[in-house]
Amino acid sequence: MKRMLLVSMAVIAAVGCTRRETPAPAPGGQQSGPVSGHTDTHDADQSQSPDVVRIDPEMLRDLRITTARVETRPGAESAPVPGEVRVPEDAYAEVSSPVAARATRVAVTAGQQVKRGQLLAELESLELVQARGEYGQARARVELARKALERKRGLAQERIAPLREVQEAEAELGSAQASLAAARASLQAMGASSAEDGATLRLHSPLSGTVIDRSLAQGQVTGPAQTLFRIGSLGTLWLVAHAPERDAVRVPAGAAARVSIPALPGQTLAARVLLVGSQVETTSRTIPVRLELPNPSGTLRPGMSATVWLPVGEGAPVLAVPAAALQRLGDKWCVFVPQAEGSFETRVVGRGRDLGGEAEILSGLRAGETIVVEGAFLLKAEAEKARGEGAGHEH
């Protein structure tokens, strides 16, 4: 009997110890605290916003992060059309030798800035020698005819020479003057001055600008058919776009257009419509549209290809960002907005239509805000990594 009583007391003691190790349930069936005093480190991470990506300063220096501003675009644009950068016709000149000649000096090189009237080259020409000789003969003939006329008039006043001889002398002077004018015009057509002598022909720049091309070497023999220098003003260029008929007829003169240049990736330029062509190109069924494209830095070059989005009507303006700035995070489109140094806000946005290198933003951003473009993909990876680590701490 005593033995059974001792066993029963041992069992009751064991059960009591077991209940003391288990925490009491809180109201509603939830546990009031962690087991055995364990502290969850996820509670500390919640002090940081899950919408902010933080990059270590040393790592940030290695990331090539570039930013861009959210910009407003015209709501009505055509599909992208090809175009080509050109020099304005009224700011372009080609210089050649008016006669057969040999280059004795070349004063400028390609890419050099020149002023109007600046010396480009010196040439030697036998034709110029002949033209200057004819000019000298014409001048001498005029002087001789003038003196002869004066003498005849004096004799006529003394009634020694008849009036007929005076009239003949006047005709001879007129003929000599006409020959002199022709000889002077011939020199001017060669670009030579009548005050100079010899075989030297000097070529000067007809306008201020850049020497786009030089195809003359010292000692080279050239002629009127060969272009020696191409000079143009590159501060403002023309962009000729080839738009389909249905779009070109709806483009208003003076409207702003958006341009991208393959040689300048990631950049969007603004151009202004100057003229819509009056004739359709029959082979392509397009109409040329001429635009004015500022080039203050001189980065653009004649002959560069371009893609142009022309305004084809009125429409509500839209917000646009570079397409590379948009990243897919889970099932949503996001951009990264720089905050304090090393911190980037993950901003959920509504993505609209593609705008050729850019994307329309329907919600989540305002015009003028700054977003990350290059480096957005790496920030996305960091955001996904942070979210994955957070998911691993869930209980």
pLDDT at residue 37 greater than cutoff 60: no
Find which of 62-76, 358-372, 377-391 is predicted with most confidence, using mean pLDDT: 358-372
pLDDT at residue 232 greater than cutoff 90: yes
**Higher-scoring residue by pLDDT: 250, 242:** 242
- What band does 288 get if pLDDT is binned at 50, 70 and 90? very high
Find which of 110-114, 138-142, 281-285 is predicted with most confidence, using mean pLDDT: 110-114
289 burial (CB, 10 Å; 0-12 / 13-18 / 19+) is buried
- The residues near 80 (Cβ < 8 Å, ≥ 6 apart) are 307, 308, 309, 356
- Separation in Å, CA 383 to CA 57, 69, 214, 359: 16, 22, 55, 22
Residue entry with tokens 């003003």: 233
Domains present along the chain, CATH in parentheses: 52-74+318-392 (2.40.420.20), 81-87+234-309 (2.40.30.170), 97-125+199-232 (2.40.50.100), 126-196 (1.10.287)
pLDDT of residue 86: 96
Average pLDDT over residues 87-96: 94
Percent pLDDT > 90 in the chain is 42
pLDDT of residue 75: 65
pLDDT of residue 164: 84
Q: What is the pLDDT of residues 310-320, one digit of tens each?
A: 887 666 678 88
* Mean pLDDT, the chain, whole residue set: 81
Find which of 63-72, 155-164, 168-177, 210-219 is predicted with most confidence, using mean pLDDT: 210-219
Residues 84, 291: Cα–Cα separation, whole Å? 10
pLDDT of residue 27: 37
pLDDT at residue 211 greater than cutoff 80: yes
